[in-house]
Structure 1
Amino acid sequence: MKLILAIIRIAKMQETKMALQDADLPSFTAMPVQGRGQGHGDLEKAANYDPEHRELISVTPRLKSKRMITLMVSDDKKDLAVETIIKVNQTGASGDGKIFVIDSSDSIRVRTGEKGDITLD
C-alpha cells in the first residue's frame, strides 16, 4: 500500500478530482494548506510588472495557499495515481506542486474492522 500526498494549485483541484474519479481512484481527502518552495515567484512577478520598484518588494517569499490531497492506493495503482495527478497539474511553471509517495503497512476500515487492500476500494 502507498500513501500519496500531493500539494497542488487550488485552481487545479476540480480538474484533479475529476481525473482521479475517471481513473477509478475516487476516494481521497483534500485540505487547504499553505507553504512555499524554492521559487521566488513574487519577486519575478513584481519585476515583470514594475522593475523600478522591485527593491520595495519583500525578499522573503510569502506562503502560498495550496491544496493537499491524500490518497491511499494499492501498490499496483501507485503509478496510475501519480501519473494522473501529474497529467492534470503539470504546467511547466514554478508552483506546479509536489507528490510524495510513502509506504504504508496497513489500512483499517473503522466500520467493519477489515484490514488491508480491501479497505481501499
Structure 2
Amino acid sequence: MKEIIAIIRSNKMKKTRDVLEVLGFPAMNARRVLGRGHQRAIIDDVNIPFPPEGIEESRGTMRYIPKRMISIMVEDRDVELVVEAIMKVNHTGNIGDGKIFVCPVDDAVRIRTGENGDVALQ
C-alpha cells in the first residue's frame, strides 16, 4: 500500500479530481497549501486575493505560492496508473507544475468495521 502526495497548481484541482474519479479513485484528501520550490512567482492566473499573503512587493516575488496538496492511498499495483494520470493532467512544461511523492504505508484501518490492510482502502 502506498500514499501518493501531489502538490499541484490550484487551477488543476478540479480536473485532477475528475480524472481520478473516472479511473476509480474517488477517495482522497485535499488541502490548500502555501509553499515553493524553484518557482518564484505565479505565471498562470490563480484565484487568490490581492495582494496575496507572502508577496514582497518591493522585489516582485512571492515567498510562498498557493498550491493544492492531494493525498491518496492506493494499492501497490495502482501506483503507476495514478501517478501517470496526475502527471498527464498537471503537466504544462512550465516551472511550477508541481511534485509527486510516493510513500510506503504500513497499514490502514477502517474505523467503522475494524478492517485493515488493502481491504480498508475499498
| Partner deviation per Cα, 1:21-65 (whole Å, 9 max, x = no partner) | 1111111010110000113346x9xxxxxxxxxxx8427642111
Moved over 4 A (4+): none
Greater helix proportion: 1
What is the correspondence of 1:52-63 to structure 2 with a 5 Å cutoff?
Answer: 57-58=58-59, 61-63=62-64
Counterpart-to-counterpart distance in 1, 2:115 and 2:41: 46
Gaps of 5+ in 2: 44-56
The answer to whether the 8 Å contact 1:41/1:94 transfers is no
Q: Counterpart in 2 of 1:113? A: 114
Q: What TM-score comes out, normalization by structure 2 length?
A: 0.83
Which of the two has higher C-alpha Rg? Answer: 1
Q: Counterpart in 2 of 1:13? A: 13
Q: What TM-score comes out, normalization by structure 1 length?
A: 0.84
Greater strand proportion: 2
The question of 1:101 aligning with 2:102 is answered yes
- What is the identity percentage for the equivalent residue pairs of Structure 1 and Structure 2? 47
| Aligned residue pairs, count | 110
Structure 2 residue identity aligned to 1:3: E
